[in-house]
Amino acid sequence: MNKNINKNTPRIILSFVLSLFLFSCSDDASKLGGKPGAAGPKGKRAAKAIPIEVAYPEIGLAASYYVTTATIEPSSDAKINSRTSGVVQQILHEEGDDVKSGDILLILDDDDQRLRLKQAEQKFESASREFKRLSKMKKAGVVSPTEWEIAENNFRTSETDKKLAELALSYTRVAAPFNGRVVWRDVDLGAHVGQGELLFRMMSISPLLVRVHIPANRLGGVAKGQSVELKVDSISTPLIANVELISPIVDPTTGTIKITLRIDQYPSSVRPGDFSEVHMVTDKHDNALLIPSVAIIEERGEHYVYLVEKNKAIRRAIKVGFTMTNTTEIVEGISQSDKVVIKGQRNLNDEVLVEILSEQKEKSDPSSTPSAAIKNKKERSNKNKRAQP
């Protein structure tokens, strides 16, 4: 009996292994819906479409920008010094005051200047009377030419002395040289100031100026009157300046050209000394083909986009032009009727299946203008009303 068991043992083991193999195959088939071929031909699963978003290119303005930084400056900046000596008698304007040209800022003690003027006036009156008397006598021929010349010289000298005394008196009243704002006072009431001593600092803040230096090879089409955008730290919205002056020479040291910008309108929070970021258009192309910059893929200096044709992604080489903040000009490679992938393009390969989740409904043509859209909406509304019973 033991001999029979030993003879049947290999058969029993073989039967057991075959049973396990068949059971495993049937279990895999049940996981696939009970169909052994559910995985597809040659065991490959069907390709799944990749979700994307697309947009049509638009026609618009493409511009080349030169971006730099600069400080906002007043159009005039003057340090006002004393033109005579004396004691500060009155201070009529303080820091922050807006003044007009000729407004008195400060008065010095003027007793000495007034006395000198009175003395000069008396000498002038005396010399004037003598000169008139001798002039009458000269006509009558009863005075020598020498006496008349001496009287005339005395008259002219006394007249000049009188004007100098008037001028010295005027120096005791310190006036604003232009319309502007007092930004600094450097003298106190009752202090004695000498000739040439600093009293005030004034700035003309209307308009404000910005001076920038751009490379000569980037000057491009910059012209007087051109609008320039400024981003200032103290405010959230950009300012608009205009090109006021363009230097006719190139700085040989830096290779740059000085451009002066003028700011006519600005909020009160903007002041001289504010830091600004200047965005200047140096060249532009009208009627350019534009797409969102995020749609462009750059590899080894080459640029590509993915288009959608028959539910497949098509890789297309392009040539780019000017790059703006959010859009880029396309010079070659696509047309306005192409569907450009703007989201999901990083997951794509050429010829893969795609599923469009969102797309621009209307291309840039006259029918997509606001007025046309309103008209189309009204027409659809009228059709719906006619269709109602």
What pLDDT is recorded for position 359? 77
Distance CA 39, CA 31 (A): 11
Handedness of CA 15, 16, 21, 24 (dihedral sign): positive
What per-residue confidence (pLDDT) applies to 12?
A: 53
**Does the predicted TM-score (pTM) go above 0.75?**
no
The per-residue pLDDT for 371 is 36
| Confidence at residue 110, expressed as pLDDT on a 0 to 100 scale | 95
Task: Provide the β-strand partners of residue 72.
Answer: 210
CATH superfamily of the 48-82+208-389 domain: Efflux pump adaptor protein, beta barrel domain (2.40.30.170)
- CATH architecture classification, 85-200: Beta Barrel (2.40)
Each of the 389 residues of the chain gets a pLDDT tens digit; together they read 444 445 555 555 555 544 544 444 444 444 444 444 444 455 455 568 899 999 999 999 998 888 999 999 999 999 999 999 999 999 999 999 999 999 999 999 999 999 999 999 999 999 999 999 999 888 888 888 899 999 999 999 999 999 999 999 999 999 999 999 999 999 999 999 999 999 999 999 999 999 999 999 888 889 999 999 999 988 999 999 999 999 999 999 999 999 999 999 999 999 999 999 999 988 888 999 999 999 999 998 899 999 999 999 999 999 999 988 889 999 999 999 999 999 988 888 899 999 998 876 544 443 333 333 334 433 444 444 444 43
- The secondary structure of the chain in percent helix, strand, coil, rounded to multiples of 5, reads 30, 40, 30
β-pairing, 239-246 with 173-175? Answer: unpaired
| 263 in Cβ contact with 72 (< 8 Å) | yes
Spatial separation of the C-alpha atoms in residues 297 and 317, rounded to whole Å: 10
